[in-house]
Structure 1
Amino acid sequence: MRFRTIIAGICICLGFSSCIQDEALNAEADILSCTVADPSVLRMKPIINNNSVIIMAKPTIDITDFPLLFTLTKGATIEPASGDGKDFSTPQTYTVTSEDRQWKKKYTVYVDISDIKLNSSFEHWETTEPVGTIGKKWHEFYEFSEEGQKVWIWATANSGYALTGYRTPEGKRLNDPFIYPTTSYELGHNGNGVKLETKDTGIWGLSLGMPLAAGNLFIGSFDATSAGNGREEALKSTRFGLPIAYEHNKKPKALNVWYKYTPGEVFKDEDQNPIAGKQDIFDMYAILYESIDGRILDGSIQFDDPCIVAIARINDKDAKPVSEYTYASIPFIYHKNVDPSKLLTGEYYTAIVFSSSREGAYFRGAIGSTLIIDDFEIELEDIEIEQ
C-alpha cells in the first residue's frame, strides 16, 4: 500500500512538473544604452531614439575606426558586435535580434563631430517604419552636417503616439504617417514645412489620463518606452536640448520662424472637461542653459529654472490664430551673464521647442489645434566685451 502511495505521489509530481512552462524568452530587441571606452571624447550622453543612436563627439577624434559599446534588452544580440570598430564617416546600421530570435530591430547609428546648424527649412525628412510596429510609420526630421552626414537632431513624440493604436473616425490606422501629430507639410512658407496638430489619443489615452497628444518638434530626444507609463513618466520622456557650439564672440539674439496657427474648437482639461471661453494657443521657444550635474530639461520644464541662461519664448498674446504665414522674431532675454568660452566650446545646451498646444505636455488643449512652421533660425549677435 505504501509502495502504491509513493508511485502515485511520483506521478502527481511528474504531472505537476509537466504543467510548469519554462520562462518565456524575451521578445524585446532594443538598445538600452551606448558608450565608448573613453567617455571624455563625447560632448554629451548618446541619444537613443526609437530607431537611431546619435553620438556627439569632439572633432579631435578619429571616427574611421571607432568602437561603440552597447547594452541591450535581456538576451538580445547585436550585429555588428558591441565593441567592434566601425568607420562612422558615414552612418552605420546595427541590427538587434531578440532573445527569442523572433524579432529584429534596425538602428542607424551616427557619430557626428561637426557643429550643429542653427537654421532649417525642414526639407529633410523620412518615413520611419521600425520592425515590430506592425506597419505603423511616421515622419522624422533631420539635417545635414558639414561633412554631409544626416544628423537626427530633431525629435518628435510620434513614436509615443504609435502606442495608442488610434484609428480616425474615417477608419484610418496608424500606418498612414499623415495622421500622426507631427508631419511634413508640402505647403510650407518656402517649400516644405512641418505641420503640428493636437490629436485625440482614443480609448488608450483616456485610460491613462492622457487624452490628447500635441504635435511637437524639438531639438533633443524622445523616449517612447516611458511615454505610456502615465502622466509623470510622459513628461520625462522628452529631453530638450543638445550641446551646441557658437561662433567666436557670438551669442543667440532671437528665435526667428515663419508660422501660421489655427486653434481647435473646444479646449479641454486633462480629464476631458471643456473649459468655457478658453482658446488653445501654441508654443515656441528656445533656451540656452547649463546642464547642472548632467540634468537635461524635460517636459516638466519650469521657465524660471536656475539652470537657464537665456530664453526666447513667444508671449501668450502673440500666440494667436493667423491664417497666413507670419514672421516671428522672438528676442532672447538673458537671466545670467553668458560665458563666451562655454559658447565657443559647446558647453551650453540649446533647446528649441515647437508645440501645437501650449499646455499639451499636461494633456490640456483642443483637438485639431494646428501649428505650421517653416524657415527657422537662431539669429546671433556680437557679445559685448567689457573693457
Structure 2
Amino acid sequence: MKKFKIWGAGLILALAGQACVSEDPFSSGGEGTLKLSAEIRSEITTRAGDLTSDPTLRDKCVVYIETSRGLIRKFKGLDNIPELISLKSGKYLAEAWTGDSVSASFGSKFYRGMQEFTIADGDNKALSLKCNIANVVVSVNPDALSLGITDLKVTFSHSRGSLEFTEDNIRDAKGYFMMPNADKNLSYKVEGLKADGTPIKKEGIIQNVERAHEYVLNITAEAGGNNQGGALIKIRIDDIPLIEEVVEIYGRPTIEGVEFNIDEQVVGIPGTPEGEKNAFTDKIVYVRGYEGIYRLQLRGGQNFQELGHIIADLNLIQSDINKAELEAHGITWDGPNDVYDAATGKRMAEMRITFKKAFFDHLPQKDTEYRLDIIARDNQAQPKDRTKTLRVATSEAAVEVKAPVEAAPAPDPENEPMAVLSKSATLTGYVMAEDATDYGIKYRKQGDSEWIRVAAQTTRAARTEFTVSLTGLEPNTTYEYAAYASGYDDGEIQTITTESVFVIPNSSMEEWGEYQASTPLGTKTVKFPGTERNFWDSGNAGAAAANDILTEPSSVMINSGATSVKLTSKECGLLGIKKFAAGNLFAGEYVRTDGTDGVLSFGRPYDGSHPSKLSVYVNYRPAVGSGKGANDSYIASGQMDQGQIYVALSTEAVEIRTKSSNQKLFNPDDACILAYGQLTLTENFGPDGGLEKIEIPIEYYDRAKNHKPKYLVIVCSASKYGDYFSGGPGSTMYLDDFELIYDK
C-alpha cells in the first residue's frame, strides 16, 4: 500500500490509498473453548517490594478477542469474563487495557497486554493474559536540590502534554507519559537561577524512549564549576529498564449450580413424590475461591428466619457446626478441597453444597419465594466476595412471572457507538411468551402521544431475542421506546438520544485570519482559514519562508457567500533553490518546522457522530507535470497532475512527521482510524468558472462498532504526489461549502 505526502516549501503532508480487506480466518466446522484470565502488573519499580492488587484496575479492564476481520468478543471488568468462552476454530488475538490513558500525568498509569492464540476443533484452551505498564516514566534525581539552584524547574514534554518537576515534588515524584503514535522522543528543559540571580536554562531531547523504562534526569556541576549556585551544570539521562513486579489479579469466588441455573427460581410443590410433575429434586452448588475459601455463609431471608431455620445465618467454615443437625434439614457439604486452575496456574479451593429434595420439601407453602443468600469470601491478600441467591417457590402464587416482552437497555454509546446514529437506531427486544406471533419495538419522540410500531426483523435463540431498526429519526432528539407483543402488556419504557449532526467550522471559507510564524528567514505573516486556529490549517507556514502562499481566499469561484479557498501548486524558491510544492488544506494544525521539514497534527476534536459522506463544491484544473518526480509512476513530464481529497474519523489526532529520518505518514489502516473515504481527481472537474458538488462516501471499519470517533480528519491537495516533488506547477483547486451528510 502506497503512502502519499504533500510537499510545501519543506512541508510534507500525508495521503493514503484504499484500505485492505482481510480474509475469513476460520477453518470449516470446528469449535473449541477458551478459559481466559488476566494478570495486571500494576506497579513498576527498580527494587523488589510488597505489592497488592488494585480493584479499580480490575473494574476498568477491557478485554478484547479479535480475528483479522475485527472484534468478536468484548468484556468490561475482569469479573465479567465468562468461565468458558466458545470460539470457532481459527487464529485470534486477545488484548486487554486498563488504567487511565493520559498523555502526561503524575499519577495516572495505563496497562496493556496482548497475546495471539489458536483454537482447534475440540480444544479446551487456557490463556493467561499479562498486562504490563505502557507508560514512559520520568523522574529527576533529588541530588539536584543540593546544587544551590533556586526556583529549579524541570519540564518534560512531547507534542500532547508536559509535566513540571519543582522543588516541591522532585524528591518523590514520577511522571507517566503515554506516547503519541508519531512521537518517539521526549523533550526536557531545565530552568532556575544561579546564586547571583543569573538565569540558567538547558534543553535537550531524550531519543527513542521506550515503555516500562524510567528516564532519570541528573543535574551535576561541571568540573571546575561552582556548586554553590550552579555556575556550570551538565545534564545526564539514565535509562533504567524497570523490573515489573507481577501483581496477580484473579476473579472473585465463583458460585454455580450443577445442571441448573442458580440465577433462576427453583420451583416445586413440597411433598410431591420424586419423579412426578412439580416435584423438587436435589440441587448441587459448587463454590470456588483463589487462595482458599475464608468464609462461606448461608444467610436465610425473612421466611427462613420466621421458621427458626438453622440457616438463618450460618458460616460453613467453622469447626463447631453440627453437621448432623444440618443434614437433618437436608443440607450437606464437603470441602474445601484443593484444585488446580490451569488457566492461571493458581491453587483454588472448592466446596460442594447439596440441597436435597428433603430440604425443599420441609419448606411450608408460601405465596412469596424463599431467599437463601450464599456468600463466599476467598483468602487472597485483598479478599474478594461474591453472593448468589437461591430462590425457591413453593406455590404457584410465588412463581416469578417473567415479562412476556421486554426491550434491552439503551445501547452504551462508548461500547456500541453505531447502535444509535443521527437518524436511525438498532434496538434489541426479548419475547418470553411462547405463543406471541406479532411483536417488535414501538417508539415515539419524547413528549408525543402517538406510538410508531416496528415489527421484529430478525429473531435468534428460539425466538426469544429480536432486533428492530428505527429509521427516519431526528438528530439530537430523545425518543421513548418499549417492546410490544399482541395480546400482552407492553414492556417498560426506556429512552435513547440520537447523535447530533456535526457542522464543520468555517465550512464556506468566509472567515480568514493571520498569525506570525517562525521560519528560517525570520518571522513571517501566515494566512489561514478562520478567525482562530481551531479547525483548518495549511502548508502556508512552510511556504512563507519563500515569501509565497499556497492556500488563500478567492472570490473568483464561489458556491455561496463571498469567498472560497484556492489551493495552488507552485515551484517555491528558498535561498535560490526551487522545489515543487502542492497547494493544500487540512483539518488540523501545522505544529512546527523541524529544520526544513514539517510536524503536523491531523484531526480536530469531534462530537462522535457517524456521517455517511463528505460533501464539498470543487473546481479542479490540473497542470502538466514538470517531470521532476522520483520516477514515472508518479507524475511524469507531460502527464496531467492529479488532485485528492480524503476524510477520516479517528480515536485520536494523527501526528505527521515529514523528516525522512523520523518519518510518520497518514495511513488509513492505522488502528486509530475508524472510517475513511477518498476521491482522486485525474482530469478537469467542474464547469469553467464554476464549482460542482462532489460526495465522498465514508467507509466504516469493523473496529468502528466498538470505538467512538473523537477526531475528524479532512485533507485536500491540488497535487496528489507533491511529496515526491512531483506534479504540475499551476494545478489549482477551488473548494467551498464543506458538509457532512447523514443518511442514517
Q: Would you say 1:310 and 2:669 are equivalent positions?
A: no
Structure 2 counterpart of 1:301, which letter?
F
Which of 506, 528, 540 does residue 158 from structure 1 map onto? 540
CA distance 1:335–1:199, shift in 2 (3 Å): same
User: Please, what TM-score do these two structures have when normalized by structure 1?
Assistant: 0.54
Q: Which has the larger radius of gyration?
A: 2
Which of 330, 334, 337 does residue 700 from structure 2 map onto? 334
Asked if the contact 2:616–2:694 (Cα under 8 Å) also holds between the matched residues in 1, the reply is yes
Q: Which has the higher helix share?
A: 1
Which of 137, 151, 158 does residue 525 from structure 2 map onto? 137
Using the TM superposition, name which of 212-221 and 198-207 deviates more.
198-207
Asked if the contact 1:240–1:351 (Cα under 8 Å) also holds between the matched residues in 2, the reply is yes
Q: Would you say 1:301 and 2:301 are equivalent positions?
A: no
Asked if the contact 1:118–1:377 (Cα under 8 Å) also holds between the matched residues in 2, the reply is yes
Asked if the contact 2:648–2:712 (Cα under 8 Å) also holds between the matched residues in 1, the reply is yes
Secondary structure at the counterpart of residue 252 of structure 1: coil
CA distance in 1, matches of 2:657, 2:518: 27
Larger RCO (CA within 8 A; separation ≥ 6)? 1
Q: How many residues are matched?
A: 249
- Report the alpha carbon displacement of residue 353 of structure 1 after superposing the two structures with TM: 0.7
Q: After TM superposition, list the pairs within 5 Å mapping 1:319-330 onto structure 2.
A: 320=685, 323=688, 324-330=690-696
Asked if the contact 1:197–1:215 (Cα under 8 Å) also holds between the matched residues in 2, the reply is yes
Asked if the contact 1:198–1:370 (Cα under 8 Å) also holds between the matched residues in 2, the reply is yes
Which of 549, 559, 562 does residue 180 from structure 1 map onto? 549
Which of 90, 105, 123 does residue 510 from structure 2 map onto? 123
| Structure 2 counterpart of 1:287 | 648
Residues 195-253 of structure 1, C-alpha deviations (whole Å, 9 max, x = no match): 1001112254848xxx1111111111113422614xxxx4xx2321123113xxx4111
Asked if the contact 1:309–1:334 (Cα under 8 Å) also holds between the matched residues in 2, the reply is yes
Structure 2 counterpart of 1:214, which letter?
A
CA distance 1:298–1:206, shift in 2 (3 Å): same
RMSD: 3.9
Q: Would you say 1:353 and 2:727 are equivalent positions?
A: no
Q: After TM superposition, list the pairs within 5 Å mapping 1:11-30 onto structure 2.
A: none
Residues 239-296 of structure 1, C-alpha deviations (whole Å, 9 max, x = no match): 21123113xxx411111000101112334333699814521011111111233xx853
- Report the alpha carbon displacement of residue 328 of structure 1 after superposing the two structures with TM: 0.4
CA distance 1:131–1:213, shift in 2 (3 Å): closer
Secondary structure at the counterpart of residue 338 of structure 1: helix
CA distance in 2, matches of 1:375, 1:71: 44
CA distance in 2, matches of 1:309, 1:36: 28
Residues 319-370 of structure 1, C-alpha deviations (whole Å, 9 max, x = no match): 7575331110111112225247724xx3xx2100111111123322111111
Asked if the contact 1:32–1:71 (Cα under 8 Å) also holds between the matched residues in 2, the reply is no
Which structure 1 segments of 5+ residues have no match? Answer: 1-30, 39-43, 46-69, 78-114, 144-149, 166-173, 383-387
Asked if the contact 2:629–2:636 (Cα under 8 Å) also holds between the matched residues in 1, the reply is no
CA distance 1:272–1:204, shift in 2 (3 Å): farther
Structure 2 counterpart of 1:184, which letter?
P
Asked if the contact 2:618–2:693 (Cα under 8 Å) also holds between the matched residues in 1, the reply is yes
- Report the alpha carbon displacement of residue 138 of structure 1 after superposing the two structures with TM: 3.0
User: Please, what TM-score do these two structures have when normalized by structure 2?
Assistant: 0.30
CA distance in 2, matches of 1:278, 1:212: 15
| Structure 2 counterpart of 1:200 | 571
Which of 625, 640, 644 does residue 266 from structure 1 map onto? 625
Q: After TM superposition, list the pairs within 5 Å mapping 1:93-108 onto structure 2.
A: none
CA distance in 1, matches of 2:736, 2:728: 22
Residues 139-192 of structure 1, C-alpha deviations (whole Å, 9 max, x = no match): 11126xxxxxx45211111111122x3xxxxxxxx2xxxx40011112322220
| Structure 2 counterpart of 1:228 | 596
CA distance in 2, matches of 1:134, 1:335: 45
Which structure 2 segments of 5+ residues have no match? Answer: 1-156, 165-178, 181-187, 193-198, 202-500, 659-664
Percent identity (aligned): 25
CA distance in 2, matches of 1:279, 1:244: 36
| Structure 2 counterpart of 1:364 | 726
CA distance in 2, matches of 1:225, 1:131: 8
Asked if the contact 1:219–1:352 (Cα under 8 Å) also holds between the matched residues in 2, the reply is yes
